[in-house]
Structure 1
Amino acid sequence: MKSKRLLSNLVYVMLDAISITLSYLISIFIVNVLGIKFNFVGLPYVLVLVIFLKIVLFYIIGIYHIILEHLNFKGVSRIVVVTVATNILIVIMLLIPGVPKFMPKSMYIFITTFEVLTLIGYRLLYRLSIYLSTSSKKSVATSKKTLILGAGSAGELALKEIEQNKNLNNYVVGFLDDDDNKIGKRISNKRVISSIKDIDKIIEQYEIEEVIMAINNYPKENINKLLNSLNKFEHIQMKRISLVDGISDDENQVLRIVDIKVEDLLDRNEIKLATNDISNFIEGETVLVTGGGGSIGSELCRQIFDFKPKKLIIFDIYENNAYDIQMELERKKFKDHSIKVEIKALIGSVYNMKRLEDVFIEHKPTIVFHAAAYKHVPLMEESPVEAIRTNVIGTNNTATLANKYGIKKMVLVSSDKAVRPTNVMGATKRFAEMIITHHNYIGPTKFSAVRFGNVLGSNGSVIPLFKKQLEDGGPLTVTHKDITRFFMTIPEAVGLILQSAVYADGGEIFILDMGEPVKIYDLANKMIRLAGLRPNVDVNIEIVGLRPGEKLYEELLVDHSADKHLKTNHSRIFIEKQKDVQDKELDLSYITDHFEEFDSCHVKRMLAHVITTYQIDGDKEN
């Protein structure tokens, strides 16, 4: 790759040398035609020196870093400014007494003009040839007729990407924009046809097949409305632009055209965190994340890493996940040598007390985030012994060691299913909450838990399942038409976990306000539409019935009308009041000694003895 780039730069250097030489020769020819006599003393030697110095300056300024396929006005301006400035310097030199007058000063009017034309000319010709070769292949007949929503700078970038990217099979018909002043005008060679509110009419008139959203910060509720509007048309896909940091030439932005995800349609305000407080809490500490390779655990590792702990310990039973997040963070360190975080990926289980204690002894963590748990409701119904082994015994092991080795704070990642649980998973998570509440009052460590609902895209969540079912051609399976769940994105949830950890003073269960619940059936509809298909026409949605232990409606996490929850300094974080938990209430010694001896029914009864709100048979009407 480096040798190819070097060869390419050498070609540009040669072409620039030829361009500068031609500018001088053409100027001399013009002077001779005009009959002006002048003795060009030492010109060949001076010209070699001028070419050398200009090329060195071009390199320093970054002219050779410009990728010609992305040459824009800023790049052209840079070439013009450098060329004019260097020639002005040469003219100033010619005014100095004693400097050989190798060229009349007035000739630099011609030389500068021709230099600018030749230096820019071949670059623009190359840029034009790329454009013509790409656009010629994208005819109306063979490409998807596409509308770009937004006739601003983002829309211009979208058009540029479509015209240059050979992998995009789009033909842009035109733009739509809500600014009346733009309607009728053109971006490049494409017209701003009408307002976005006329999208239905424009789609029918031009037989549009794809719509690209190219408006930054467009309200999610408006995107939802557009998606609903497109649903009546057959096989129309809606996509959006995604901007990333610039390429190496001149701070240009790189644009990708990507599918709109369900996460993009969540109608919620951005969650703002007190990042300075989190930074003060994490920076310089040794942080242990149990279950650090899971969907929540790995995002915890990412965000904790950014707050510069002294050491980050990724502890997980599954080696592949632990390795993946370790390598991801190591790559970030490799790219930024100022990052000094020590990263350790360790394999083991929280229910293995000896292995876990070895980690505490060797690495001496000061903060623990306990995310290791089994979370799949149907699987835990079938394997309650394993749920107790990890979710209960594993939590007690971690909490015991946290107190034994004087950890500052331990935070348990809990679940909304711990509220009046109807399944083993929820009951064991409630058990884990009670364990950390108990340990808070018997040792130096400050314990807390954070309880929240489903996270979009996490392992076992409905979104990845729907994606796989769509790839298979359907149907999308929903357990009940009215089933609802609270949703939050993984980064949102983890950010609030970190914020809660800052607030923790010991013994709290923090409750995250998840916003309004979402109907899973509606979610399935949106995912089908986003794929450019029609629900129950192209892809069916099938109702399959509630699974064992599954609730129709999740409990409301935050009851704003009750005195049950205390407010924190963050509008999305509340504290649920907790009573002290005595050792005899947990019955941990008996459970630890006997849980593997019993069958599933007996294990569930053991759970129900401790978690009095747990209904073994479930309540299908809740």
Structure 2
Amino acid sequence: MIKLEALVNKNRKFFVLSFDLILVATAFLLAFAVRFDLSIPGRYWTTIGLVLPLLMATKMAVFWGMGIFGGWWRYVSVSDMLVILKANIIGSLVFSSLVVFVWPFGTLPKSVLILDGILCFLFFSGVRIFTRICLERYNVSLKGKTGRQKRILIVGAGAVGQTIVREVRQCPKLKGEVVGFLDSDPQRLRKRFQGVSVLGAPNDLQSVWRKKGIDLVIIAQQAVDPKDLRTIMDFCQKTKVEAKILPPVGDIIGGGVSIQHIRDVELEDLLGREPVRLDVKDIQEYLRGKRILVSGAGGSIGSEICRQVAGFMPESIVLFDQAETPLFQIEKELAENYKNVKTHPTFSDIRDRSRVEFIFEKFKPQVVFHAAAYKHVPLSEQNPIGVVENNVLGTRILADAANLFGVQHFVMVSTDKAVNPTNTMGASKRVAEIYVQNMARQGLTQFVTVRFGNVLGSSGSVVPIFKEQIKRGGPVTVTHPEVIRFFMTIPEAVQLVLQAGSMGKGGEIFLLDMGEPVKIVQMAEEMIRLSGFRSYEDIDIVFTGLRPGEKLYEELVGAGEGVLPTDHEKIRVVRATSHSSALLGGLLERLDRAIQLMDREEVLNVLEEIVPEYQPERDRLARGKVVKPVPVRQAMVVAMAGPEALGSEQ
């Protein structure tokens, strides 16, 4: 059988065309036979001989034009059946018209023409379905002959789960057999999909495992909530059952679902964040066909901004970064994946005013995403002058250039560490927020800021650090057992940044919905478990103490700020306090002089004057203050009564 299949594949087009010609002729002859009770009168045989070549030529031309011969029979689907039906209707109508209005050798019974169309469709569709059934059964038996098959259980009996069943059957290399579904929809219980039964709900995994002897669990992510997913992963770890997950269809490029997309369950899956709803039309209006500049284009956030912006087909993207290797990597990636988008990589530093203005004059960007920043808190505490020069003065130079050269939209990426800052990095980002807000009152450029918390997987974040520590066998280091942070994924954060940029009118600080805060120690425990180990037994967790400038709690709303809703459920707008442009300008000049003189104390003093809520380590220890976070929902309620209702301490 293997040799026969190889021969058919080698001469496939010839085989399909010849076989389909036989089907057309057989259907026509059978239509005559059915019409005359299986005994065709002799007077019709001459007519059949004359008309059959016309029938075959007509239908083959129509079928060829509609692509009937292009598909593989082993993958035939309902959509293919519809194409075959449509092709047969058109082919029969064309042939009937020729016979009725053009054919000079007498008429054919109309019932024969109708029967021919019906039988031809049944033959074409039936032989393809039969071929698929045979090949799938053949593949299953072949798997059994080559070794023990993996017994697969799929969580989610919807379209995604059914696609996985089909692919497992069609691919002998997978050496697997789907033995059942689990699904939380009670209406699907005991039903069969693709010939596979729904054996229970996700919480029935243990009993199904005992009865069926499961080797692999494949989870369609949209079919389970985070609680069920954690339960499934706990069980799989205890029983040594392999677990894989299929991401949401929206996360798969092109929207297609395939078994090649299954992967190991990761920490992001367990956080359970709902998919982001994007107003694509609004984003397209300010990105499509535009000249874009992204500062920090080689960084975690900046590179993802470049990827997502490229998907909206801008005219060009200026990749603005001073790091050579990351800049090379993102330029190469964009060139391969977005061939119609021009990219301009530039070795540039936002602190170099002449270089910044040269780039703006040369490329004339219409939209700027400002993601360049120093962000590591402990390093910032050791190097406050460099951090302030980059995050504050660099932002001022970039914003001034945007205003000078008539940029339409300027979107600055900020951080929750700018709220009631206790470290130099946070204070510097708060000053940058203030400056960008003030610039919104000075020209036509729409300056907006987007503030959010930590992103999973960014360079220097806890996730890659924990992964490396687990890989080495531990211990995993956590600063404090009670430290909590807000988290979101990099793609989600950037999607909301693009959305917020389309909503801004100038001067707003947009706040992204970060969901519920997560304890860092719980993240460490989850990552250890996902790696197949036990916390505190196989791999220990060690608490090292808070580092300089760190807080137990990060905040999203500061003193004097109110939060109001927007049209997007995951984006809020912060009603922040205003500052005098003249006073701010004078303070920034003092800051510039202090940086040139390398006067660390003066730099910190100016930061405190601009950001009164800033509590450097030296002041915080002296005052003995502990700042607690302001819940976003509480801030939204208080905002209706006025920002004065919010305090820095509760």
Task: Please indicate the TM-score interval, normalised by the length of the shorter structure.
Answer: 0.7 to 0.9
SS of the residue aligned with 1:64?
coil
CA distance, structure 2, for counterparts of residue 94 and residue 360 of structure 1: 71
CA distance, structure 1, for counterparts of residue 52 and residue 161 of structure 2: 45
Task: Give the counterpart of 2:75 among 52, 70, 77.
Answer: 70
Find the counterpart in structure 2 of residue 554 from structure 1: 553
Residue type at the aligned position of 2:17: V
CA contact (8 A) 1:378 1:547 kept: no
Residue 567 (structure 1) aligned with residue 564 (structure 2) = yes
Residue type at the aligned position of 1:564: E
CA distance, structure 1, for counterparts of residue 367 and residue 251 of structure 2: 34
Residue 540 (structure 1) aligned with residue 539 (structure 2) = yes
- Change in CA separation of 1:385 and 1:145 when aligned onto 2, cut-off 3 Å: farther
Instruction: Report the alpha carbon displacement of residue 71 of structure 1 after superposing the two structures with TM.
Output: 0.9
SS of the residue aligned with 2:43?
coil
Higher relative contact order (CA 8 A, sep 6+): 1
SS of the residue aligned with 2:355?
helix
Residue 591 (structure 1) aligned with residue 594 (structure 2) = yes
Instruction: Report the alpha carbon displacement of residue 271 of structure 1 after superposing the two structures with TM.
Output: 4.6
CA contact (8 A) 1:174 1:191 kept: yes
Find the counterpart in structure 1 of residue 297 from structure 2: 292
CA contact (8 A) 2:203 2:228 kept: no
Find the counterpart in structure 2 of residue 19 from structure 1: 23
CA contact (8 A) 2:293 2:320 kept: yes
Instruction: Report the alpha carbon displacement of residue 557 of structure 1 after superposing the two structures with TM.
Output: 1.0
CA distance, structure 1, for counterparts of residue 70 and residue 473 of structure 2: 46
SS of the residue aligned with 1:398?
helix
Deviations, residues 269-324 of structure 1 (Å, cap 9, x unaligned): 55545655555555565432211232222333344445565543332223554455
CA contact (8 A) 1:417 1:554 kept: no
Find the counterpart in structure 1 of residue 243 from structure 2: 237
CA distance, structure 2, for counterparts of residue 252 and residue 365 of structure 1: 35
CA distance, structure 2, for counterparts of residue 243 and residue 35 of structure 1: 55
- Change in CA separation of 1:522 and 1:231 when aligned onto 2, cut-off 3 Å: farther
Deviations, residues 361-420 of structure 1 (Å, cap 9, x unaligned): 112234422111222334445555543453234223213323433444533222222334
Residue type at the aligned position of 1:16: D
SS of the residue aligned with 1:63?
coil
Instruction: Report the alpha carbon displacement of residue 518 of structure 1 after superposing the two structures with TM.
Output: 0.7
Q: Report 1:120-519 matches (<5 A).
A: 120=125, 122-139=127-144, 142-214=148-220, 216=222, 218-228=224-234, 230=236, 232-240=238-246, 242-243=248-249, 254=258, 256-272=261-277, 277-282=282-287, 285-305=290-310, 309=314, 311-326=316-331, 334=339, 343-381=343-381, 384=384, 386-436=386-436, 447-468=447-468, 476-502=476-502, 504=504, 507-519=507-519
CA contact (8 A) 1:293 1:318 kept: yes
CA contact (8 A) 1:480 1:552 kept: no
CA contact (8 A) 1:486 1:554 kept: no
Q: Which runs of 5+ in 2 are unaligned?
A: 1-7, 609-613, 628-650
Find the counterpart in structure 2 of residue 599 from structure 1: none
CA distance, structure 1, for counterparts of residue 592 and residue 305 of structure 2: 32
Larger CA deviation: 536-545 vs 187-196: 536-545
Find the counterpart in structure 2 of residue 598 from structure 1: none
Find the counterpart in structure 1 of residue 43 from structure 2: 38
Residue type at the aligned position of 1:65: G
CA distance, structure 2, for counterparts of residue 215 and residue 449 of structure 1: 33
Instruction: Report the alpha carbon displacement of residue 567 of structure 1 after superposing the two structures with TM.
Output: 2.0
CA distance, structure 1, for counterparts of residue 213 and residue 369 of structure 2: 54
CA distance, structure 2, for counterparts of residue 468 and residue 164 of structure 1: 38
Count of residues paired in the alignment? 602
Instruction: Report the alpha carbon displacement of residue 137 of structure 1 after superposing the two structures with TM.
Output: 4.5
Superposition TM-score, scaled by structure 1 size: 0.80
CA contact (8 A) 1:482 1:552 kept: no
Instruction: Report the alpha carbon displacement of residue 439 of structure 1 after superposing the two structures with TM.
Output: 5.2
CA contact (8 A) 1:158 1:257 kept: no
Q: Which runs of 5+ in 1 are unaligned?
A: 596-601
RMSD, aligned CA: 4.3
- Change in CA separation of 1:325 and 1:217 when aligned onto 2, cut-off 3 Å: farther
Instruction: Report the alpha carbon displacement of residue 14 of structure 1 after superposing the two structures with TM.
Output: 3.1
- Change in CA separation of 1:497 and 1:104 when aligned onto 2, cut-off 3 Å: closer
CA distance, structure 2, for counterparts of residue 43 and residue 245 of structure 1: 57
Residue type at the aligned position of 2:375: K
CA distance, structure 1, for counterparts of residue 80 and residue 158 of structure 2: 20
CA contact (8 A) 1:388 1:428 kept: yes
CA contact (8 A) 2:417 2:555 kept: no
Residue type at the aligned position of 1:481: P
Larger CA deviation: 55-64 vs 372-381: 372-381
SS of the residue aligned with 2:45?
coil
Residue type at the aligned position of 2:594: I
CA contact (8 A) 2:311 2:338 kept: no
Select the structure that is richer in helix: 2
CA contact (8 A) 2:310 2:338 kept: no
Find the counterpart in structure 2 of residue 610 from structure 1: 606
CA distance, structure 2, for counterparts of residue 516 and residue 318 of structure 1: 34
- Change in CA separation of 1:73 and 1:447 when aligned onto 2, cut-off 3 Å: closer
CA contact (8 A) 1:427 1:607 kept: no
Deviations, residues 223-262 of structure 1 (Å, cap 9, x unaligned): 34544555544344252365479999xx996564344443
- Change in CA separation of 1:304 and 1:74 when aligned onto 2, cut-off 3 Å: closer
CA distance, structure 1, for counterparts of residue 489 and residue 221 of structure 2: 22
Q: Report 1:80-91 matches (<5 A).
A: 80=85, 82-83=87-88, 86-87=91-92, 90=95
- Change in CA separation of 1:247 and 1:423 when aligned onto 2, cut-off 3 Å: closer
CA distance, structure 2, for counterparts of residue 252 and residue 489 of structure 1: 22
CA distance, structure 1, for counterparts of residue 534 and residue 165 of structure 2: 30
Larger CA deviation: 453-462 vs 45-54: 45-54
SS of the residue aligned with 2:210?
helix
Residue type at the aligned position of 2:584: Q
CA distance, structure 2, for counterparts of residue 423 and residue 546 of structure 1: 16
CA contact (8 A) 2:414 2:450 kept: yes
Superposition TM-score, scaled by structure 2 size: 0.77
CA distance, structure 2, for counterparts of residue 225 and residue 128 of structure 1: 36
Deviations, residues 160-202 of structure 1 (Å, cap 9, x unaligned): 1222234545332212234455433433443322333322222
